[in-house]
Amino acid sequence: MDNQRSKFGLVYLVGAGPGRKELLTLRALEVLSRADVVVYDYLVSESVLQLCHPSAVLIDVGKRPGKPTNQSDINDLLVELASKHRCIVRLKGGDPFVFGRGGEEADALKAAEIGFEVVPGVSSVNGVPLFGGISLTHRGIAQGYVVVTGHGRFGEPLKYDWDALNRCGLTLVVLMGVAHRAEISEELRRVGMDPLTPVAVISKGTTASQRVIRTTLSELGMLQVESPAIIVVGSVAALDFSWLDVRPLFGLKVVVTRAYGEDRLSHSLEELGAEVVRLPMISISNPSDQGESLQRALGQIGSFSWIVFTSSTSVKRTFDALGDLRRLGGVKIAAIGSGTKETVLAHRVGVDFVPTKYVGETFVDEFPAPSRANDAILLPRAKVARDVVPLGLRNKGWKVDVVEAYETSYMVYDKSDLVAKADLVLFASPSAVEGFYHCFGKMLGRLPIGVIGPITAKKVEELGATPTFISERYNFPGLVDATRLWWIDNCKSETV
> Cβ–Cβ contacts within 10 Å for residue 37, how many?
22
Whole-angstrom distance, CA of residue 202 vs CA of residue 214:
9
- What is the pLDDT, as a whole number, of residue 404? 92
Rounded to 10 degrees, the C-alpha dihedral 267/268/269/273 comes to 90
Residues identified as active-site: 41, 63, 176
pLDDT of residue 302 exceeding 50: yes
30-34, 223-227, 235-239, 489-493: least confident range: 489-493
Helix (H, G, I), strand (E, B) or coil at 377: strand
Residue 132 has phi, psi (to 5 degrees) of -90, 0
Whole-angstrom distance, CA of residue 394 vs CA of residue 390:
6
pLDDT per residue as tens digits for the range 322-340 = 988 888 888 999 999 888 8
Mean pLDDT of 223-252: 93
Mean pLDDT of 223-241: 93
Note if the pTM is more than 0.85. Answer: no
- pLDDT bracket for residue 1 (50, 70, 90): very low
Identify the CATH homologous superfamily for domain 2-122: Tetrapyrrole methylase, N-terminal domain (3.40.1010.10)
- What is the pLDDT, as a whole number, of residue 3? 42
Domain 285-410 has CATH 3.40.50.10090: yes
Taking CA atoms, 19 is separated from 34, 328, 467, in Å, by 21, 47, 30
Mean pLDDT of 84-92: 95
- What is the pLDDT, as a whole number, of residue 305? 93
Domain boundaries, the chain: 2-122, 126-238, 253-281+411-495, 285-410
What would be the CATH architecture of the domain defined by 253-281+411-495? 3-Layer(aba) Sandwich (3.40)
Q: Which fold has domain 126-238?
A: 3.30.950
Fold matches, 253-281+411-495 and 285-410: yes
